[in-house]
Amino acid sequence: MTSIKSGVENIPDKMRAVVIRKHGGPEVLQIEEIPVPQPGFGEVLLNVEATALNRLDIFARKGLSGPGVPLVTLPHVSGVDIVGRVAKYGPGSEAIPSVPSIGDRVILDPAIGCNECRYCRLGEPSMCPDYKIIGEHCWGGLADYVVVPARNIIKVPDHISSIVAASVPVVYTTAWRGVMTVAEVKPSDIVLVVGASGGLGSAQVEIAKAAGATVIGTASTAEKRKKALEKGADLMLDSNSDWESSVLEWTNGRGVSAAFDSVGAPTIRHSLRSLEMNGKLILSGATAGDNPDISIREIYQWHRKIMGAPMGNWEDFLQVTSLVWQEKLKPSIHAVFPLEEIANAHVELEKRNHFGKIVIRVND
């Protein structure tokens, strides 16, 4: 095994990076040549191979902010889902157990806590008062090189491509958190996935099916619904229809055990009404708005629970990557763009015509 001290060579002084210097449309995404960053204490420099896009990239570019979505500091390089090769370690990395070697291909868990507070000590960085996400709160992977905490990387096996691996960290870890850790889905459950065609929704469908549940999903086009059925969904409904009534009719008036909604304001009340007595509404995002019109009585009179499930912890990350490595979970890739076509990739993501993930190939 190569020493982590060896192989530090052929790192250029400059790199390409998609630098956001002002908020706006896809045209503000400019590839610049900037200095390669240097890893500090406990950090590692990665030579990025692939980075998948998320709604966070859109928020960063547009300058959208709100509760849980802070306005990014410009200039900024986004890119949360990162796969790359270890290029150089900073001091202190030798103290981290099982650290990958120079040249190893690795995947990043982008969640960072302070490592000191009670929540971090419980292994829950997303509950940390100083919680950060690589690519949102600090510079990310839409560049040739990125510096990340060395404790947040694990090796990617040879049989898994960098494109597939890059589609895992955010949506699959979040989906695992919601489906398995928070909702505790079991084979007797009927669950609803609102927006089953996106990166997160398609992962929720796949994980819920792997848990043995019956899965109902919603999507806006016949093609998306077809792909979700191929992914394992038992019933797909048109998101532009009265799908709430269809869910209740299909379940003989019972409703679903759990509903997973990352769309937000336009759909949350329908998701809530689709729940059975004592059902759970799991929220992992609000891509279409975060100020819904809801009835408190529709919650407490039915003993319903509303539960937050943002990005998972280290254990969630290890569980879901293990299943991807075993090919028991198979991420859907909608399209792959070279770094030079980052603006076109943003346009494709915003059109919402995709099923699964859009990935940027940074380096071969």
Instruction: Give the model confidence (pLDDT) of 217-255 as tens digits.
Output: 999 999 999 999 999 999 999 999 999 999 999 999 999
* pLDDT confidence tier of residue 97, bands split at 50, 70 and 90: confident
Q: Which two tokens stand for residue 294?
A: 């809801």
| pLDDT score for 98 | 83
Average pLDDT over residues 195-223: 97
Average pLDDT over residues 352-359: 94
| pLDDT score for 317 | 97
Higher pLDDT, 305 or 72: 305
* pLDDT confidence tier of residue 89, bands split at 50, 70 and 90: very high
Instruction: Specify the residue for token string 């969630």.
Output: 316
Average pLDDT over residues 17-41: 97
Q: Which alpha helices (H) appear in 19-144, and where do they start and end?
A: 55-62, 118-121
pLDDT of 7 > 90? The answer is no
Average pLDDT over residues 291-296: 93
* pLDDT confidence tier of residue 9, bands split at 50, 70 and 90: low
- The Cα–Cα gap between 192 and 180 comes to 14
Separate counts of helices (H) and strands (E) for the chain: 11, 17
Q: For residues 280 and 305, is the Cβ–Cβ distance under 8 A?
A: yes
* pLDDT confidence tier of residue 2, bands split at 50, 70 and 90: very low
Torsion, CA 55, CA 274, CA 127, CA 23, rounded to 10: 20
Average pLDDT over residues 9-18: 92
180 DSSP 8-state letter = I
pLDDT of 125 > 50? The answer is yes
132-184: pLDDT as tens digits: 999 999 999 999 999 999 999 999 999 999 999 999 999 999 999 999 999 99
| pLDDT score for 68 | 61
> Whose CA is closest to 197, among 291, 263, 109?
263
The third-level CATH classification (topology) of the domain covering 172-308 is Rossmann fold (3.40.50)
pLDDT, mean over the chain: 94
| pLDDT score for 364 | 79
Residues 52, 197, 224: CA angle, nearest 5 degrees: 125
| pLDDT score for 31 | 97
> Whose CA is closest to 110, among 138, 89, 70?
138
Average pLDDT over residues 128-135: 95
134-143: pLDDT as tens digits: 999 999 999 9
Count of alpha carbons within 13 angstroms of residue 96, beta-carbon side? 19
Distance of alpha carbon 273 from its chain centroid, rounded? 27
| pLDDT score for 5 | 45
* pLDDT confidence tier of residue 93, bands split at 50, 70 and 90: confident
Average pLDDT over residues 289-309: 95
38-69: pLDDT as tens digits: 999 999 999 999 999 999 999 999 997 766 66
Residues 349, 233, 247: CA angle, nearest 5 degrees: 100
Please give the backbone phi and psi of residue 296, each rounded to the nearest 5 degrees, phi first: -65, -35
| pLDDT score for 6 | 45
pLDDT of 13 > 60? The answer is yes
> Whose CA is closest to 166, among 108, 117, 219?
108
| pLDDT score for 302 | 97
| pLDDT score for 69 | 65
- What percent of the chain is predicted at pLDDT more than 90? 90
The third-level CATH classification (topology) of the domain covering 14-167+332-361 is Quinone Oxidoreductase; Chain A, domain 1 (3.90.180)
- The Cα–Cα gap between 255 and 349 comes to 32
Characterize 281-291 residue by residue with b for buried, 16 or more Cβ atoms within 10 angstroms of its Cβ, and e for exposed. Answer: bbbbbbbeeee
Q: Which alpha helices (H) appear in 232-351, and where do they start and end?
A: 243-250, 268-273, 297-300, 314-325, 342-351
* pLDDT confidence tier of residue 3, bands split at 50, 70 and 90: very low
Question: Would you list the domain boundaries of the chain?
Answer: 14-167+332-361, 172-308
pLDDT of 70 > 90? The answer is no
